[in-house]
Structure 1
Amino acid sequence: MSPKLITPPEAAAKLGVSLRTLRTLSTQPDGPRVIRIGRSVRYSADDLDRWLQNRMEH
């Protein structure tokens, strides 16, 4: 089963942050992982859930 990929606006809405904040977070070593498909940027919904859960635990 392939992961559900979401666009940056969908990912930002899921996290409750702006697109600019999402981009900034994604450049950090411990930020959400970006998946590039050609020139398109996507995020795995499952990875975002795990990343957010880890942030809430720290």
Structure 2
Amino acid sequence: MSKNIKKENLPQKICPICNRPFAWRKKWEKQWDNIKYCSDKCRKQSRQEKQNDKKHAP
């Protein structure tokens, strides 16, 4: 990312858990391609859903 980018022009993604858009952050600069969730809460909720799916599988 270049230094003089306005906030309106930052890349965005949609969180698969809460379906809200979230924008690029400086702390995510090196791993933006790997970021999937907008927050730790959504990331943890995703893990819980996966565990629940395994429990209810036949």
Q: Do Structure 1 and Structure 2 share a fold, with TM-score over 0.5? A: no
Higher strand proportion (structure 1 or 2): 1
Structure with greater Cα Rg: 2
Larger RCO, structures 1/2 (Cα 8 Å, 6+ apart): 1
Give the TM-score taking structure 2 as reference length.
0.31
